[in-house]
Structure 1
Amino acid sequence: MADLSIEFCGIKSPNPFWLASAPPTDKAYNVVRAFEAGWGGVVWKTLGEDPPAVNVSSRYSAIYGKNREVIGFNNIELITDRLLDVNLREITQVKKDWPDRALIVSLMLPCEEAPWAAILPLIEATGADGIELNFGCPHGMPERGMGAAVGQVPDYVEMVTRWCKKHTRLPVIVKLTPNITDVRAPARAALAGGADAVSLINTVNSITHLDLDRMVAFPAVGNASTHGGYCGAAVKPIALNMVAEIARDPATRNLPISGIGGIGNWRDAAEFIALGAGSVQVCTAAMLHGFRIVEEMKDGLSRWMDEKGYRSIADFTRKAVPNTTDWKYLDMNYQVIAQIDQDKCIKCGKCYVACEDTSHQAIAQIVGEKDSRTYEVIRDECVGCNLCEITCPVEGCITMVPQETGKEYMNWTQDPRNPRAEGVR
């Protein structure tokens, strides 16, 4: 049976599934229930200076798919609204009672050294395993010079990280904001400041939708609203890309990464780990489905690892990183052609409409007796774009079949069609 235990920048955990710093980790009651359910670790909801933050009502909104499935989740909640001393007492007791679980404390303070120097010994005294610097919160706190206001400035990231390394012996994890042009810059800055690891992504600036009768966005606070932090399944592609960018950057390729963003099942977790994450953090899925989802996550990951022959998490960590590259290095001579399985085809015509209207007119609609319809790929016109496969409602009906071209690998830097290709004058 696969071993799910991990060691992340010196922090041991029975499995890679951690709860992210958020409402699910706001107090001892929640965290204990999470540990009882089987979570390997938690990042305690962000602590700050007293007096604590004051939140508004309401706080959440969502984007729905069919059957009211939550695709994206938006929140305008701030850091902890509980007194620092209360949080510290609870953290101390929880760590004492659950010594085998990872317990990280998230922190957010003004961009001055003194507050950091004052709080860090208090965190160490709790017995916590590490700290996470919240440089990503996109709402409420940036207006106070914290959160994303720090994370968007690499010099600030390096400076505060250096302060923390100076004033604590605990591992320092820097949580990065996705609300930035190039996530590699703050990751490099965190490393330069001495960070032991980074975690990402924090939430994405967003307004989910409006009440068009009242002309107020959600979540509505009286007759007004504001932008919030977007998370959930919808942000997973953004998060995967940013994790991969850091993992394959020569400057940060050895920097441990805790992956966050839209993780809702074991497959999501495996993808993050394969692209560079050493642990994964979950929030939205737990808020929507409860703490027991970790049972399926652990079971599914373990079964998949057994099937693939992976004995430990380390066996496939970063395994997909070498296969992730810049566009210019992709093989220009690689070719796939769509193929329709007529036995599975339900004759809905979605592939034909999509290709005919918006793509390459590479699917023929053949009208037969009694106005029957058959759809066939026009091979000479198919560019292998995958649109037909994506629009088809029947899994496995349309597949993309690799073609033997007889041509050797050639990327864009070598392609004679590129006026700046090597050897082209």
Structure 2
Amino acid sequence: MADLSINFCGIKAPNPFWLASAPPTDKAYNVIRAFEAGWGGVVWKTLGEDPPAVNVSSRYSAIYGKNREVIGFNNIELITDRSLELNLREITEVKKAWPDRAIVVSLMLPCEEQAWADILPKVEATGADGIELNFGCPHGMPERGMGSAVGQVPEYVEQVTAWCKKHTRLPVIVKLTPNITDIRRPARAAKAGGADAVSLINTINSITSLDLDRMVAYPNVGGASTHGGYCGPAVKPVALNMVAEIARDPETHGLPISGIGGIGNWRDAAEFIALGAGCVQVCTAAMLHGFRIVQEMKDGLERWMDSKGYKTLDDFMGKAVGNTTDWKFLNMNYKSVAHISQDDCIKCGRCYVACEDTSHQSIFQLVDEATGTRTYKVNDDECVGCNLCEITCPVQGCITMVAVPTGKPYMNWTQDPRNPRAEIKETA
């Protein structure tokens, strides 16, 4: 049986599944239930200075799929609205009762060294395993110089991280905002400030939808609304890309990463780990389905690892990073074409319509005059291997992309004679 235990920047946990700093980790009652369900750790909902934040009603909105499954979740809730003293007392009690589970405390304070110097010894006294600096919250409290107001300025990220390393012995994890052009810059700043790890992504600035009768966005707070933080399955592609960017950046290579964003099953977790994450944090999936989902996550990951011969997470951690590169280094001589399985084809014609109308007119629609039966075949000479037909096909596995040998060696865009600026003969 695969071993799921981890040591993430000095923080040990029985498995890589942690609950992210959010409503599910707001109090001892929740966290204890999570640990009883099998979560390996939690990041306690963000603490701040007293008096605590005041939240509004309502707080959430969502984007739904066809069967009303939530694919995107929007949140305008602020950091904890409970007193600092109460939170610290509960953290102490829970850590004593569950010494084998990871408890990381999220913090968000003004950009003043003394504020951090005052709170860090109090957090350390709880017995917590580490701290996470919330530099990502995209809504609320920017007037205090907190959240993404810090995370969007690399100089601030480095400065506050350095303050924390100065005033605590606990591992310091910096939570990064995705609301920035280049995620590598704040990651580099965190490392320069002495961060032990980074976590990402925090939520994305969003307005999910509007009530067109009342002409107000959701969630509706007395006839008005605001932008919030977007999370859930819809943000996973953004998160994976940003994790990969940090993992393959020479300046941050080797910096431990806690992956966050749309993780709802074991496969999602495995993908983040393959791109360099040492643990994963979950929020939306737990809010929608309850804490017991971690059992399926652990079981699925163990079974998959066993099937691949992976004994520990280290055996495949970061394994996909080397295969992630810049566009200019992709092989210009690689060719693939679509293949339609006639045995699986249901003759719906969606591949033909998509290719004919919006792609490369590479699929023949053949009609039997006697029976009216339609058959769809790929014109290999015209197919550019764009994958659109495979994506539009409603039958999984009916259309596959098949590599076609060209007999040509590897050649990237920097070497391609068709590139007017192909001067430097670079390799990946």
Contact 2:337 2:383 in 1 (8 A): yes
Answering whether residue 64 of structure 2 is matched by residue 93 of structure 1, we say no
Q: Give the ranges of 4+ consecutive aligned residues of structure 1 lying more than 4 Å apart after TM superposition.
A: none
Answering whether residue 192 of structure 2 is matched by residue 207 of structure 1, we say no
Contact 2:414 2:424 in 1 (8 A): no
Between the aligned partners of 2:397 and 2:146, the Cα distance in structure 1 is: 48
1:315 aligned residue: 315
Answering whether residue 167 of structure 2 is matched by residue 167 of structure 1, we say yes
1:224 aligned residue: 224
1:332 aligned residue: 332
Between the aligned partners of 1:252 and 1:378, the Cα distance in structure 2 is: 45
Q: TM-score, normalised by structure 1?
A: 0.99
Identity, in percent, stands at 83
Between the aligned partners of 2:329 and 2:179, the Cα distance in structure 1 is: 27
Q: Give the aligned length.
A: 424
Q: Secondary structure at the match of 1:178?
A: coil
Answering whether residue 123 of structure 2 is matched by residue 119 of structure 1, we say no
CA gap of 1:52–1:347, structure 2 versus 1, over 3 A, is same
Q: Secondary structure at the match of 2:223?
A: coil
Between the aligned partners of 1:136 and 1:143, the Cα distance in structure 2 is: 15
1:239 aligned residue: 239
In structure 2, stretches of 5+ residues that fail to align are none
Between the aligned partners of 1:128 and 1:155, the Cα distance in structure 2 is: 28
TM-fit CA distance, 1:373: 1.1
Matches within 5 A, 1:284-323: 284-323=284-323
Between the aligned partners of 1:232 and 1:179, the Cα distance in structure 2 is: 16
Q: Deviations over 1:246-300 (max 9, x none)?
A: 0000000010000000000000000000001000000000000000000000000
TM-fit CA distance, 1:142: 2.4
Between the aligned partners of 1:145 and 1:363, the Cα distance in structure 2 is: 56
Q: Deviations over 1:46-86 (max 9, x none)?
A: 00000000000000000000110000000000000000000
Between the aligned partners of 2:395 and 2:293, the Cα distance in structure 1 is: 28
Between the aligned partners of 2:144 and 2:215, the Cα distance in structure 1 is: 28
2:372 aligned residue: 371
Between the aligned partners of 2:404 and 2:393, the Cα distance in structure 1 is: 21
Q: Aligned letter for 2:198? A: V
Q: Secondary structure at the match of 1:21?
A: coil
TM-fit CA distance, 1:420: 1.2
2:414 aligned residue: 413
> Which 10-residue stretch deviates more, 415-424 or 57-66?
415-424
Between the aligned partners of 1:272 and 1:423, the Cα distance in structure 2 is: 33
Answering whether residue 383 of structure 2 is matched by residue 391 of structure 1, we say no
Between the aligned partners of 2:131 and 2:350, the Cα distance in structure 1 is: 51
RMSD over aligned Cα atoms: 0.8
Between the aligned partners of 2:381 and 2:21, the Cα distance in structure 1 is: 53
1:198 aligned residue: 198
In structure 1, stretches of 5+ residues that fail to align are none
Contact 2:142 2:149 in 1 (8 A): yes
CA gap of 1:9–1:377, structure 2 versus 1, over 3 A, is same
Matches within 5 A, 1:49-128: 49-128=49-128
Q: Deviations over 1:225-255 (max 9, x none)?
A: 0000000000000000000000000000010
Q: Aligned letter for 1:141? A: M
Q: TM-score, normalised by structure 2?
A: 0.98
Contact 2:277 2:318 in 1 (8 A): yes
> Which 10-residue stretch deviates more, 29-38 or 363-372?
363-372
Between the aligned partners of 1:404 and 1:155, the Cα distance in structure 2 is: 50
